[in-house]
Amino acid sequence: MGTYLGTDKHFDAIKLQNGKFTILRPSGAVDAFANGINDQGVIVGAYFTGGIDSHGFVLQNGKIHTLDFPNEVGFGGTTLNDISNTGEIVGFVWTGPDTRAAFIFSNGVFKTFNVPNARLTEALGINAFNTIVGHAIVVDPKTGNETDVAYTAKCK
């Protein structure tokens, strides 16, 4: 799975299976990005329909469906970045014009989390032990200076 820039100057999510590439383009998508895959071949990613908001997508059993954070505020949308072998999906959602929260989607429920003092937290991957990795932009409450940090988190 991956992404390539087509001759139409738009990005397409792709998967390679048995030596054959297949384009993954959710309905209405202008650009699509495949970001993660688990051992069962379930692919997660994000797509854009021409606006600034992204939408999450899941490809499972040959069918693509949209998975968006409920009541997303319209500042940038939902991005799905990875999926574990037990089906937990991680990603991030825009919570304001310059803020993001990481999330885990498990058993049909989204749960957000943030690194302390971060204005932006993104979950980028999840492994077989349900350890989440990501990055955050942390704001020093005294100086206002920002630092980009990596983090790990464990699912409970």
Size of the chain in residues:
156
Instruction: Report if residue 82 sits inside a domain.
Output: yes
For residue 136, give Cα distances in angstroms to 54, 63, 116, 147.
19, 32, 9, 8
Instruction: Report if residue 29 sits inside a domain.
Output: no
pLDDT on residue 73: 65
Instruction: Report if residue 5 sits inside a domain.
Output: no
Range of the domain at 128: 34-154
pLDDT on residue 98: 83
Instruction: Report if residue 9 sits inside a domain.
Output: no
Instruction: Report if residue 21 sits inside a domain.
Output: no
Please tell me the distance from the alpha carbon of residue 94 to that of residue 96, in angstroms, as a whole number. 6
Instruction: Report if residue 17 sits inside a domain.
Output: no
Q: For residue 97, is pLDDT > 70? A: yes
Given CA atoms 111, 116, 120, 123 in this order, what sign does their dihedral have?
A: negative
Condensed to tens digits (0 to 9), the pLDDT of residues 101-149 reads 999 999 999 999 999 999 999 999 999 888 999 999 999 999 999 999 9
Number of domains in the chain: 1
The H-assigned helical ranges of 9-139 are none
Please tell me the distance from the alpha carbon of residue 113 to that of residue 120, in angstroms, as a whole number. 10
Q: Per mean pLDDT, which range of 44-58, 68-82, 130-144 is the poorest?
A: 68-82
Instruction: Report if residue 73 sits inside a domain.
Output: yes
Instruction: Report if residue 20 sits inside a domain.
Output: no
pLDDT on residue 152: 95
pLDDT on residue 96: 81
